[in-house]
Amino acid sequence: MANPSLLILPGDGIGPEVMAEVRRVIDWFGANRGLVIDVTEDLVGGAAYDAHGTPLHDDTMAKAQEVDAVLLGAVGGPKYDQLDFSVKPERGLLRLRKEMDLYSNLRPAQCFDALADFSSLKRDVVAGLDIVIVRELTSGIYFGEPRGIITEGNERVGINTQRYTESEIARVAKSAFELARRRGNKVCSMEKANVMESGILWRDVVTEVHAAEYSDVELSHMYADAGAMQLCRWPKQFDVIVTDNLFGDMLSDAAAMLTGSLGMLPSASLGAPMENGRPKAMYEPVHGSAPDIAGQGKANPIACILSFAMALRYSYDAGDEADRLESAVNDVLGDGVRTADLLGEDGVEPVSTTQMADAILAKLDATS
Ligand code: IPM
Ligand code: MG
């Protein structure tokens, strides 16, 4: 049988430097665990714009459709701020999500015990936290029409449209219920049914899907603003949160910070099953391109490494290997190894991006 395939898109800012470390981790699994993955690499975002004048070349899009999984670093940076909207680095990422139809975006927020003191919230609020935000990723206000900036009378008007079909809501709701069954069996759905028709429909459809197929899962509903408040007040009340594209964007950043650092959080964007039975998938760290620290070897590679762990679990049918990698990360943090984003304790010298990966690889070596 052919090796499983992976398309790596390092992108911009700290993307390339964290991805270089992930490649060492991927190689480790090939050399030590017989899990050889055929890796190809290509450009996305500003890097693709610099080379081709577009943030995602059609050839790259076509490759992404063929592989078993895509692993993306980060896109964007101040250099591209003035570009026309249609060729901004972010458009490359959004095109991948849309054309691969990656409607279910899993954003776990897990608080590693060794890092509970890094959160801006009190230790007992976040220690042991393990929740997942399931964000709808291919519709809603990110893609709704009409959109644009028009002129009305003597002023400009900015327009975006929140639009959801029943089937779009139902499929992401299903993926949240399925996920909950494998975890704490609880789903909280968040919208603004008090002010938005799309929110009323969202609540109705989630309720219907639940009654039809998932009544064994505990379901609750919350307005998204109250949800944001509850996430900060007592996040451990949640297991799986399902929400739309824009609320999910915001709530997942808030949830990320509960864990102490954005530099720690992976994500998986999943679509419909492919011929191999696995979902179409793209994995990416939740953090952005962090232009302020790019190229300095300071970035934390853990979010991207944990994104590869999610690929092991969801795309390569290697849950045991994902566990192995996640434990290695946990152990390294337990040893007090810290990149600069995780400082706070007295007298701890930060390690570089490469040294963090060295430490994780050493833990992996000790396991096999
Ligand atoms: C994210 C990011 C993206 C988004 C940007 C880079 C387009 O913030 O993945 O959360 O808004 O979806
Ligand atoms: Mg975001």
Does 344 score more than 80 pLDDT? no
**Quick check: is 117 in a domain?**
no
How many CB atoms are located within 10 Å of the residue 341 CB?
A: 21
Q: Which atom of ligand 1 is nearest to the CA of 245?
A: 12
**Quick check: is 309 in a domain?**
yes
* Total domain count, the chain: 2
Tokens of 158: 């900015």
Most ligand 1 atoms within 8 A of CB, residue of 80, 87, 90 to mutate: 90
Does 206 score more than 80 pLDDT? yes
For 288-356, give the DSSP string. Answer: ---TTTTTTT-S--HHHHHHHHHHHHHTSS-HHHHHHHHHHHHHHHHTT--BGGG--STTPPPBPHHHH
Separation of CA 237 and ligand 2 centre (Å):
23
**Quick check: is 60 in a domain?**
yes
Catalytic site residue 225?
Answer: yes
Catalytic site residue 101?
Answer: no
**Quick check: is 119 in a domain?**
no
Instruction: Name the H helices within the chain.
Output: 15-33, 46-52, 58-66, 89-99, 123-126, 166-181, 197-213, 224-233, 245-258, 302-314, 319-334, 353-367
Does 41 score more than 70 pLDDT? yes
**Quick check: is 114 in a domain?**
no
Does 114 score more than 90 pLDDT? no
Q: For residue 146, is the peptide bond before it cis, meaning its omega torsion is within 30 degrees of 0?
A: yes
Residue 257 — pLDDT band, cuts 50, 70, 90?
Answer: confident
The residue whose C-alpha atom lies closest to atom 10 belonging to ligand 1 is 249
Residue 125 annotated as part of some ligand binding site: no
Q: Which atom of ligand 1 is nearest to the CA of 105?
A: 9
Mean pLDDT of 64-74: 97
Residue 225 annotated as part of some ligand binding site: yes
Separation of CA 215 and ligand 1 centre (Å):
32
Mean pLDDT of 47-53: 98
Angle of helix 58-66 relative to helix 89-99, nearest 10 degrees?
Answer: 40
Of 258, 284, 307, the position where a domain reaches its end is 258
Tokens of 181: 């069954």
**Quick check: is 276 in a domain?**
yes
Residue 291 annotated as part of some ligand binding site: yes
| Average pLDDT value for the chain | 95
Q: Same domain for 252 and 353?
A: no
Mean pLDDT of 314-330: 96
Q: From the candidates 142, 164, 314, 316, which is the catalytic residue? A: 142
Of 258, 276, 305, the position where a domain reaches its end is 258
Q: Determine whether the shortest distance from the Cβ of 102 to ligand 1 is under 6 A.
A: no
Q: Same domain for 240 and 151?
A: yes
Angle of helix 353-367 relative to helix 319-334, nearest 10 degrees?
Answer: 120
Q: Same domain for 247 and 276?
A: no
Tokens of 94: 């959004």
Q: From the candidates 58, 117, 225, 323, which is the catalytic residue? A: 225
Residue 86 annotated as part of some ligand binding site: yes
Q: Same domain for 160 and 218?
A: yes
Tell me the CATH number at 229: 3.40.718.10
Does 96 score more than 80 pLDDT? yes
Mean pLDDT of 307-325: 96
CA-nearest of 280, 214, 240, 4 to 110 is 240
Q: Determine whether the shortest distance from the Cβ of 244 to ligand 1 is under 6 A.
A: no
Most ligand 1 atoms within 8 A of CB, residue of 75, 80, 93, 247 to mutate: 93
Q: Same domain for 93 and 147?
A: no
- Compute the distance between CA of residue 281 and CA of residue 53 in angstroms, rounded to an integer: 26
Q: What is the pLDDT of residues 57-67, one digit of tens each?
A: 999 999 999 99
Ligand at minimal distance from the CA of 267 is 1
Residue 83 annotated as part of some ligand binding site: yes
Q: From the candidates 12, 42, 249, 331, which is the catalytic residue? A: 249
Residue 82 annotated as part of some ligand binding site: yes
CA-nearest of 271, 230, 231 to 253 is 231
Q: Same domain for 292 and 175?
A: no
Q: Determine whether the shortest distance from the Cβ of 136 to ligand 1 is under 6 A.
A: no
* Residues with Cβ within 8 Å of residue 101, at least 6 apart in sequence: 138, 271, 272, 280
Q: Which atom of ligand 1 is nearest to the CA of 90?
A: 7
Supply the pLDDT for residue 115.
Answer: 86
List residues bridging with 9 in a β-sheet: 72
Residue 256 — pLDDT band, cuts 50, 70, 90?
Answer: confident
* Residues with Cβ within 8 Å of residue 3, at least 6 apart in sequence: 36, 37, 38
Quote the DSSP letter at residue 2. Answer: P
Does 345 score more than 70 pLDDT? no
Of 226, 242, 258, the position where a domain reaches its end is 258
Q: Determine whether the shortest distance from the Cβ of 93 to ligand 1 is under 6 A.
A: yes
Q: Same domain for 360 and 276?
A: yes
Domain of 141?
Answer: 130-258
For the purposes of burial, counting CB atoms within 10 Å of the CB of 283, is it exposed (0-12), middle (13-18) or buried (19 or more)?
buried
What percentage of the chain exceeds 70 in pLDDT? 99
CA-nearest of 47, 50, 34 to 8 is 47
**Quick check: is 240 in a domain?**
yes
Catalytic site residue 249?
Answer: yes
Q: Determine whether the shortest distance from the Cβ of 90 to ligand 1 is under 6 A.
A: yes
Order of strands, sheet of 38-41, starting from the edge strand that comes earlier in the sequence: 38-41, 5-11, 69-74, 279-283, 268-273, 104-110, 130-136, 240-243, 186-191, 218-223
Q: What is the pLDDT of residues 157-186, one digit of tens each?
A: 999 999 999 999 999 999 999 999 999 999
Q: From the candidates 174, 192, 280, 363, which is the catalytic residue? A: 192
Separation of CA 367 and ligand 1 centre (Å):
35
Spatial contact of 357 and 305, defined as CB atoms under 8 Å apart: yes
Q: What pTM was computed for the model?
A: 0.93
Q: Same domain for 230 and 250?
A: yes
Q: Same domain for 249 and 287?
A: no
